[in-house]
Amino acid sequence: MKLHTPVLRAAVGLTLTALVLTGCRSGGDDEGSGAVDGVSSDACPAKINPDNGCIYLGVISDLTKGPFAPLAVPITDAQKAFWKKVNEDGGVGGYDIDVESNIADAEYNPEVHNRKYQEMRKDVAALAQTLGSSQTLAILEDMKSDDVIGVPASWNSAWEFEDQILESGANYCFEAMNGVDWAVANRGVKAKVVAVGYPGDYGGDAAAGVEAAAKANGLEFKKIETPTGQDNQAGAVAAILKEKPDLVVVSTGPAEMATLVGGTAAQGFKGTFVGSSPTWNPALLDSAAAPALKALYFQAGPWGPFGTDTPGHEAMRQAIGEDVSPNDGYTAGWTWSYPLLAAIKKAADDGDVTREAIVEAAKNLDEVDYEGILPPEAGRTTGEPSETAYRASVISKVDESAPTGVTMAQELTVGPTAEGYDFSEPCFSLQ
């Protein structure tokens, strides 16, 4: 049966526009701040600690019309809240942190991402957020030339091999391995697994993990690439129905994932879906795809969701306040900020808060205090990636009673495939 886009839209009943949380702030400049490469002896604009200097951080995100805006807006807001709390606690080494003066919307477009970096590259000491794998790759060489460290809003396996990138949590590749191993043990997966994802780095990295786990578990493997856009999923839906897999691992945005699950379920598909961490948004529970998601969908993730009981999760919830709609973009933005804080603290303790010193400190972290969201050793950067890369991830199930619509079905666990994987190079090449 040929599937038409209107059928898929009716099956899902949720447009990308409906998911997007509006609100962004464009980047500014540092005229009059006295900043040199993002570090100033003058106070930050907010003047929380007027006697402190100021470290300016940049944010390049997807804040309006890209596929990850529903996650990126709360990611960015959580990072604002994180650094505000740091400042309210006295700052770092005689400095407050400004993460609001240089915020740019790159619309999940590598060319725009690069242009936005060029606009702020003289004004920031580090990037508190650079969203997207291909997008970050577009500025990586300039970051190296500038001695600018970046916190990626992505989990690509290549980041463990880049000194300029300060990641947190299991990468897409290990996450996918753990998702397949979990599904084999818990969902009766025995024959075939299909990886469906965006072309390029995000979908490719996850698919590489799926393929490795399929081989380890004796499963047939198939890779299907699909473009961004909820209206562009007819081909992927048809391909899933044709392949009839036991398991589908999805690496797209939330709207596309819901289209895939809702569209295939509407045609009678009853296999299991495991989504990479960026595939979920609680707004999906208000869509017509919700019954299919409850029955078929599980989310792999790098840490526990919004409502998890750890000191770090509680600190995040208190900092962002009660007037927001829970979203695991907040959890990600908050968690990603811990290692950059550790690097700035180490640079300050070593007596030199500069771009170069922050990069050097980021390369020499023995542990990071994630306040229980991740174990301290998850932040270790000393040693080879095969030794230091964090391999544990969680599996969550749809739960309407949970703050973000998912609760953990399996806590942080390293599956047998990830545990035995030879991580001597990225799972998927960025080049």
Q: Mean pLDDT for the chain?
A: 92
Structure confidence at residue 33 (pLDDT): 54
Residue indicated by tokens 């470290």: 55
Structure confidence at residue 9 (pLDDT): 37
Element (H, E) at 205: helix 201-216
> What is d(CA 185, CA 175) in angstroms, rounded to the nearest whole number?
15
What domains are defined for the chain? 5-15+172-301+391-420 (3.40.50.2300), 33-170+307-388 (3.40.50.2300)
Please determine, for residue 5, whether its predicted confidence score (pLDDT) is greater than 50. no
Please determine, for residue 32, whether its predicted confidence score (pLDDT) is greater than 90. no
Residues of the chain with pLDDT > 70, as a percent, come to 92
> What is d(CA 3, CA 235) in angstroms, rounded to the nearest whole number?
8
Q: How far apart are the first and last CA of the chain?
A: 38
Please determine, for residue 7, whether its predicted confidence score (pLDDT) is greater than 60. no
Strand 297-301, strand 126-131: pairing: unpaired
366 pLDDT tier (thresholds 50, 70, 90): very high
pLDDT tens string 190-248: 999 999 999 989 999 999 999 999 999 999 999 999 999 999 999 999 999 999 999 99
By the 8 A CB rule, do 207 and 195 touch? yes
Average confidence (pLDDT) over 91-120: 98
- Residue 362 gets the label, from left (phi > 0), alpha (psi -120 to 50) or beta, of alpha
Q: In a 10 Å sphere around its CB, with 0-12 CB exposed, 13-18 middle and 19+ buried, how is residue 7 labelled?
A: middle
Please determine, for residue 17, whether its predicted confidence score (pLDDT) is greater than 80. no
Structure tokens at 145: 């030339």
pLDDT tens string 40-60: 999 999 999 999 999 999 999
Amino acid (1-letter code) at residue 219: L
Please determine, for residue 23, whether its predicted confidence score (pLDDT) is greater than 60. no
Average confidence (pLDDT) over 340-354: 97
Helix orientation angle between 5-12 and 234-243, rounded to the nearest 10 degrees: 80
321 pLDDT tier (thresholds 50, 70, 90): very high
* Cα→Cα distances 244→109, 248, 267, Å: 33, 9, 12
Q: In a 10 Å sphere around its CB, with 0-12 CB exposed, 13-18 middle and 19+ buried, how is residue 19 labelled?
A: buried
35 pLDDT tier (thresholds 50, 70, 90): confident
Structure confidence at residue 245 (pLDDT): 98
Backbone angles phi and psi of 250, in degrees to 5: -110, 135
pLDDT tens string 154-173: 999 999 999 999 999 999 99
By the 8 A CB rule, do 360 and 380 touch? no
> What is d(CA 213, CA 215) in angstroms, rounded to the nearest whole number?
5
Structure confidence at residue 147 (pLDDT): 97
Residues of the chain with pLDDT > 90, as a percent, come to 90
**Torsion (CA) 258, 201, 82, 329 in degrees, nearest 10:** 0
Q: State if pTM tops 0.85.
A: yes
394 pLDDT tier (thresholds 50, 70, 90): very high
Least confident of 21-25, 136-140, 373-377: 21-25
Residues sharing a CB contact under 8 Å with residue 141, sequence separation 6 or more, in sequence order: none
